[in-house]
Amino acid sequence: MPTAPVSPPRPPDASAAPVWPASAQEVPGGGLAVGGVPLAEVADRFGTPVYVMDEDEVRARARAWRAALPGADVAYAGKAFLSRAMIRWIKEEGLSLDVCSAGELELAVHSGFPAERIVLHGNAKSPDDVRAALRLGVGRIVIDGTGEIARLAALVPPGARQRVLLRVVPGVTAGAHAAVRTGMDGQKFGLSVAGGEAEEAVARLLGQPRLELVGLHCHLGSQIAGLGPYVTAVRRLVPLLDRIRDRHGVTFPELDLGGGFAIAYRAGDPAVDPRTYAEQVTGELALECARFGLPLPRLTVEPGRWIAGPAGVALYRVLSVKSTGGRTFVAVDGGMSDNPRPALYGVRYTVRLAGRSSTAPGRAVTVVGRHCEAGDVLADDVELPADLRPGDVLAVPASGAYHLSMASSYNMVGRPPVAAVSGGRARLLVRRETPADLRSRDVGE
């Protein structure tokens, strides 16, 4: 059984920004356990690579946002990681759900998630996406451009009204990488506040009897560590609400400020604290609404990575250790097919030996994947024991978000399984993709 904790116990919303789940503990003889289950046992039972999700960590993190914002709507961003179990967990914790496609939507509803607590968004919704949303009765559809307005209205059945939000761009630059900065002008999402397109879309929406515009939506980006961008967004959106009231005589009951909250991938990385967010951002919203004499809208936030990311640990087995060109490369049995984020965004991860103890001195190595790309690097310049050998299990924390959801079958390597751990038990949530699965999709001659 586990004995000593990896780090002192802490609440999951602590500003110390831990990279491991709260349940992570050393086990006798070396190695690491999460959720009371030794990670070496998980690797043996389910094979590697494998994603391990700590159910209790997910639930605690969902509760942290609910506690910090009791009057708000907390919508889990399903694009981070979605499975039937995850849907059940967030449903039971009282969260809403944010989805981006008919696929995510259908999984959620068929898993028992209430459609009225679902928000569908996306800059290029297909007709199938929209039809599924209307058929299943989603609570909100986020309008991303003026061209969507008439198309959506035409699909709403006569006598019905669909509640919608309008995604606007407040002109705020935020996010850890240029590819994920979505709150500034000149990118594909939303309609500009400064350019006037947002106000034009509001006028069009208010003229559609089958659409009920209930508020504005914005999303600034991803892995945002500071709260300044959210405060700036509030200061730009509330004046827009004031202009809409003056021009059209309407006030909106809802304001969705999106997510993008940073987590720690390595020790010392900054992360967002929900309580501090509540104090600063909702405080600024109250001040701005009071300044313009507007009623306070109900706030929606969309944490995805913040809830799922630190709850996940990816496990790999070492295949080879090679020194060449003045560097040491540790090759593992996964790579960019199960974690494309280092190649896409230059993300740096923590890596540790998880299956045994070692008294060998540490040395700097580069952990690389098995794929035919020089850029298939999982972690550069990390310290691992000098006696690392093939068969060892390595653990990569903060792997619960944007890993499986962005995974591919590059080189026809199947996507890994997902196992949940809680209370000393492990169970399979998503099975491994097999060669037979990959062959079954190839139907041509």
- Collect all residues with Cβ–Cβ distance below 8 Å to 340 and sequence separation of at least 6: 406, 407, 408
Separation between Cα atoms, residue 129 and residue 135, nearest integer Å:
10
User: 311 in helix, strand or coil?
Assistant: helix
Whether residue 49 is preceded by a cis peptide bond, meaning omega within 30 degrees of 0, is yes
Beta bridge partners of 5: 25
Count of residues making up the chain: 445
Residue owning tokens 């009897």: 209
Sheet hosting strand 25-26, strand order edge to edge? 25-26, 32-34, 37-38
Q: What is the DSSP pairing of strand 352-353 with strand 327-332?
A: unpaired
Q: CA neighbours within 13 Å on the CB side: how many for 117?
A: 21
Separation between Cα atoms, residue 165 and residue 120, nearest integer Å:
10
What is each CA distance from 4 to 57, 289, 336, 416, 428, in whole angstroms? 18, 49, 33, 29, 26
DSSP string, 126-166: -HHHHHHHHHHT-SEEEE-SHHHHHHHHHHSPTT--EEEEE
Active site annotation includes 372: yes
- Of 90, 56, 72, 21, the C-alpha closest to 275 is 72
Find out whether 381 and 407 touch, Cβ atoms under 8 Å: no
Separation between Cα atoms, residue 94 and residue 113, nearest integer Å:
11
- Collect all residues with Cβ–Cβ distance below 8 Å to 439 and sequence separation of at least 6: none
Find out whether 142 and 123 touch, Cβ atoms under 8 Å: no
**End-to-end alpha carbon distance in the chain:** 54
Q: Which of 100, 218, 289, 372 is catalytic?
A: 372
Q: Which residues are known to be catalytic?
A: 372
